[in-house]
């Protein structure tokens, strides 16, 4: 991406750095050192439209994460009443009105595909919005910085504190910060396990010390990762650990909206004296407020960079300064590479949201979502699987008739008990029998408990002459008050297909 932006503008105002790190420029391994020291970043608090949106997203996402476990959903007396629950013990997934069995894992696959395609589409249109606003790493880091600010003050105070020798003041500020961080980490790691068991019961057990070891270990691991990733690692996670920045780079093109420093307007930059003329110079007063506000520690004026998470806090910082010096806002704004390029040569910028790339992503997204939705809407609570007995494929009885064996797996996904009537449709004169099920009037009758399943050994006997085909298409059909289902199979009476 650095290469793309390098083609923009004359080059005279380009200050290209290896890693793009504003504060770390020049340290890019020129000495051939074994490792690179991490440059501490002290993001400054900004106010503005994007910061407000970021606060709202933070409250919404964390609110859902911490509180959703408490939402109850009335299903049936025998089913759990937690709205969102992954029940490993009984192999069920509950999500409000949806209740999935392990056999339906393809819904999760579909959900992941939808999520990936949505991410592709949003990234191609508006850049890395996920990274800047919704990613748990971004949200937790934001929350941890709030705590840091509370104890140690804003940017300048934090820099001073870190440089100062150890004192009681420094000790309690640092200690208090880490203590609150740990509390948040425990709450975050702890919240996770509540989605795998009944939350109120588990809460009691966790404190009583009687919860399963898995719960304690999971909570501990997630506490540790939250604390270290959001408190300690922060931007290092995005730059070095996360694969998304690399993948999302492939989604971006010159028409994607990204947080952009408008070089056409800003350059040549330089300090500006009050009441001096703006003629012959750019709007950038080189105040570096965009740099100090950046949680990734980069200078957005270097162009689009791998590290940039598109959080737009530099836009808020710059807009505030532009207001103070009496220039229009939007020196840094959501803009496209193509628009900047067009303005530089004096053309009117064109914004293209419908491009082959976004079109393909959009169609794929609509397609997969449609399939998923259709699957969920038409999903039956009645299900049957038929496994043909393969050894032997058929049996010739003493009177010359042919018998085939089938193992039926019957599933009742509803929360009330029901009776299945099972019909067999196949060769003429076929009779059905099952061990342990009533058969009357040619159909089997099987009772299934609520949310239950049962496997049933079924035998079908039919008079098949030697001159008849050795393989006859057949099917099992279930009728029940909750709906019906059918499964195709074959009735075999010989080894060679004839």
Partner 1 sequence: MSGPREKDEVSGVETTGHEWDGIRELDNPLPRWWVWLFYACIAFAVVYWVLMPAWPGVHGYTHGILHNSARATVAEDLRALAAQRGAEGAKLKSASLEQIEADPKLQAYALAQGQSIFGDNCATCHGQGGTGGKGYPNLRDDVWLWGGKLEDIQHTITVGVRSGDPDARMSQMPAFGRDGMLPATQIDDLTEYVVALSHRKADAGSVARAAPIFQAQCSACHGPEGKGNQAFGAPNLTDADWLYGSDRTSIHDQIWNGRGGVMPAWGHRFDAATIKALAVYIHVKSGGGQ
List contacts with partner 1 (CB under 8 A): 2, 6, 16-19, 26, 28-30, 32-38, 233, 236, 240, 390-392, 395-400, 403, 405, 433-436, 454-455, 457, 459, 461
CB of 237 vs partner 1, minimal distance in Å: 11
CB of 29 vs partner 1, minimal distance in Å: 4
CB of 452 vs partner 1, minimal distance in Å: 10
Closer of 277 and 391 to partner 1 (Cβ): 391
Contact 424, 430 (CB under 8 A): yes
Closer of 405 and 494 to partner 1 (Cβ): 405
Closer of 18 and 375 to partner 1 (Cβ): 18
CB of 28 vs partner 1, minimal distance in Å: 5
CB of 178 vs partner 1, minimal distance in Å: 18
CB of 238 vs partner 1, minimal distance in Å: 12
Angle at 345 between CA 342 and CA 348, to 5 degrees: 45
3-state SS assignment for residue 321: helix
Per the structure block, which two tokens stand in for 420?
């299945």
Q: How far apart are CA 92 and CA 101, in angstroms?
A: 5
3-state secondary structure 119-187: HHHHHHHHCCHHHHHHCHHHHHHHHHHHHHHHHHCCHHHHHHHHHCCCCHHHHHHHHHHHHHHHHHHHH
Q: How far apart are CA 196 and CA 188, in angstroms?
A: 14
3-state SS assignment for residue 479: strand
Helix axes 313-325, 49-67, angle to 10 degrees: 150
Closer of 323 and 429 to partner 1 (Cβ): 429
Closer of 169 and 438 to partner 1 (Cβ): 438
Closer of 466 and 496 to partner 1 (Cβ): 466
Closer of 17 and 310 to partner 1 (Cβ): 17
* Cα four-point dihedral sign 263, 268, 272, 276: negative
Angle at 137 between CA 134 and CA 143, to 5 degrees: 85
CB of 438 vs partner 1, minimal distance in Å: 11
Closer of 272 and 470 to partner 1 (Cβ): 470
Closer of 26 and 440 to partner 1 (Cβ): 26
Closer of 24 and 138 to partner 1 (Cβ): 24
3-state SS assignment for residue 49: helix
CB of 35 vs partner 1, minimal distance in Å: 4
Element at 362 (helix H, strand E)? helix 356-377
CB of 464 vs partner 1, minimal distance in Å: 13
Residues forming beta bridges with residue 424, ordered by sequence position: 476
Sequence-ordered list of residues with C-beta below 8 angstroms from that of 47, at least 6 positions apart, any chain? 316, 320
Element at 98 (helix H, strand E)? strand 98-100
**CA 52 to each of CA 142, 164, 297: distance values in angstroms, whole numbers, following the listed order:** 13, 33, 21
Do β-strands 418-425 and 431-434 pair in parallel, antiparallel, or remain unpaired?
Answer: unpaired
């Amino acid at each position: 991406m650095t290469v793309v932006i390098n083609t923009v503008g004359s080059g005279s105002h380009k200050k290209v750095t290896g890693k793009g790190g504003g504060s770390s420029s020049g340290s890019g391994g020129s000495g051939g050192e074994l490792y690179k020291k991490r440059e501490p970043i002290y993001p400054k608090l900004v106010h503005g439209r994007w910061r407000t949106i970021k606060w709202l997203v933070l409250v919404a996402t964390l609110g859902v994460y911490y509180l959703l476990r408490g939402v109850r959903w009335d299903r049936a007396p025998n089913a759990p009443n937690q709205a969102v629950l992954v029940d490993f013990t009984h192999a069920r997934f509950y999500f409000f009105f949806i209740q999935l069995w392990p056999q339906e894992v393809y819904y999760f696959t579909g959900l992941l595909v939808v999520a990936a395609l949505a991410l592709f589409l949003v990234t191609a249109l508006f850049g890395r919005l996920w990274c800047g606003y919704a990613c748990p790493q971004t949200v937790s880091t934001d929350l941890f910085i709030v705590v840091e600010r509370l104890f140690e003050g804003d940017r300048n105070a934090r820099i001073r504190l870190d440089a100062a020798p150890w004192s009681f003041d420094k000790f309690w500020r640092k200690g208090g910060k880490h203590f609150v961080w740990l509390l948040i980490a425990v709450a975050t790691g702890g919240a996770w396990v509540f989605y795998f068991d009944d939350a109120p019961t588990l809460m009691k057990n966790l404190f009583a010390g009687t919860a399963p070891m898995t719960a304690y270990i999971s909570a501990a691991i997630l506490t540790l990762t939250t604390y270290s990733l959001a408190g300690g690692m922060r931007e290092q996670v995005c730059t070095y650990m996360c694969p998304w920045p690399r993948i999302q780079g492939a989604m971006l093109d010159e028409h994607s909206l990204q947080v952009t420093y408008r070089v056409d307007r800003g350059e040549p930059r330089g300090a500006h004296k009050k009441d001096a003329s703006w003629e012959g110079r750019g709007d950038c007063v080189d105040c570096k407020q965009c740099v100090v506000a950046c949680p990734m520690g980069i200078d957005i004026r270097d162009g689009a960079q791998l590290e940039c998470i598109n959080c737009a806090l530099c836009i808020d910082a710059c807009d505030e300064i532009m207001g103070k010096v009496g220039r229009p806002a939007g020196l840094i704004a959501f803009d496209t590479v193509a628009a900047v390029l067009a303005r530089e040569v004096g053309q009117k910028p064109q914004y293209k949201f419908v491009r082959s790339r976004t079109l393909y992503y959009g169609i794929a997204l609509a397609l997969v979502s449609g399939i998923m939705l259709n699957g969920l809407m038409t999903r039956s609570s009645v299900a049957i699987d038929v496994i043909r007995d393969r050894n032997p494929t058929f049996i010739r009885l003493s009177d010359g008739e042919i018998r085939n064996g089938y193992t039926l797996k019957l599933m009742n996904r509803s929360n009330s008990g029901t009776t299945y009537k099972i019909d067999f449709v196949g060769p003429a004169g076929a009779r059905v029998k099952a061990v342990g099920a009533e058969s009357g009037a040619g159909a089997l009758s099987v009772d299934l408990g609520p949310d239950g399943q049962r496997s049933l050994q079924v035998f079908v006997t039919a008079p098949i002459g030697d001159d008849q085909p050795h393989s006859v298409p057949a099917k099992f059909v279930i009728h029940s008050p909750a709906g019906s289902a059918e499964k195709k199979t074959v009735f075999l009476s010989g080894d060679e297909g004839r």
